[in-house]
Amino acid sequence: MNSGRIIKLFAGTASKRLGERIVEHLKRELPESGGLKFLEKYRLSDITVKKFSNDNIFVRLEETVREADTYIIQSSGIPVNDRFMELLITIDAMRRSSAGRITAIVPYLPYSRSDKIDQPRVPLTARLVADLIEAAGADHVVVMDLHADQIQGYFNIPVDHLKATSVLASYVEENYLHTIPEEELKDWIVISPDAGSAKRAQNFASILGLPLAVVLKERTGNNDKSEVMHVIGDIDGKNAILFDDEIDTAGSMMNAITSLCENFGVKQVIAVATHGIFSGPAIRRIESNPYLKSVVVTDTLDVPEKGETCCRTYSSDGKMIHDEVLVTKINVCSISELLAATIRSIHLGESVTHLYERWEINEPRKDKGRK
């Protein structure tokens, strides 16, 4: 427990907006512990990050962290390798500046999809990432919805693996299902986009009190193309909530949504995911799909929000494409309150598990007094 130490909260270049939101929640979280002012001036601590002309990254902490309970918030935004190196360099700077404890808050862990050796002569990159974070000097790691739970075992330091399921379910309930009459809810179903995500989707469906269906699809190679082969569950004539851990290029998801609506009788789809990576043509694909009503993601990554114009440059068929798309379907559900409460619990040596109770994850939707 570090309750006698001051909190120093830093945000990397990939998580400035999330860091500011966390500070706002910490203003309410920390006074609950007796009114002690743990966080100086309730602000992000000052840090300088810049890149030299030779592509080297420079980091300098602009205030002392000696013996402080120190946190660095840095997600895996684009460009991924720059953001990860910035995280490692910042942790090293904290360690060499005599920080009392260093907690790396990495809402979206880079290379988390490289979590197994499923082909000959390939690396286990997720394990390498864990080793590098430890070697840099982190004492504690906080992550959100890892692609596979076993990645926690790659670390030899304490890991808090947070889940956004209850936060997302509460958001969907409040913004989409709350006004739907009870008799019409039989027309809604949660769909897992593949068998690997079925357990996660089942938890989400249980919170909302909705049935679950599972898509069985075949993916070709390492690209984003897949084909829906079968569906386990009755989805004909239903409105679907497609639940996954992340949306990357959105190619596989949009193919699944189109197939579900054209071949299996689904009326419309709301896509829900923890991590909105939205690389390449993802935003264009989302905005142009006629069957997709809305997308809900958290702010583990700095994603474009509704009303913003998103500019992307990417390669397609050997050509560089510059795309500008007005965002109309993407809605952001912030996990800043959960992260702020986690920081408070870590600092005071309290349990993190009980934090989910404020989103009522143990109460089915149908028992929440819906009218």
Could you list the active site residues?
217
In eight-state DSSP terms, residue 66 is B
In eight-state DSSP terms, residue 173 is I
CB-count exposure of residue 34 (10 Å: 0-12, 13-18, 19+): exposed
159-162 vs 140-144, strand pairing mode: parallel
Q: At 91, which amino acid appears?
A: I
Nearest-10 crossing angle of helices 16-29, 336-348:
60
Task: Give the Cβ contact number of residue 57 at 10 Å.
Answer: 16
141, 157 in Cβ contact below 8 A? Answer: yes
208, 173 in Cβ contact below 8 A? Answer: yes
- At 296, which helix (H) or strand (E)? strand 292-298
The tokens describing 245, both together, are 């851990």
Q: At 51, which amino acid appears?
A: K
φ/ψ (deg, to 5) at 244: -145, 175
**Which residue, chain included where needed, has tokens 């030779």?**
54
The tokens describing 307, both together, are 């009303």
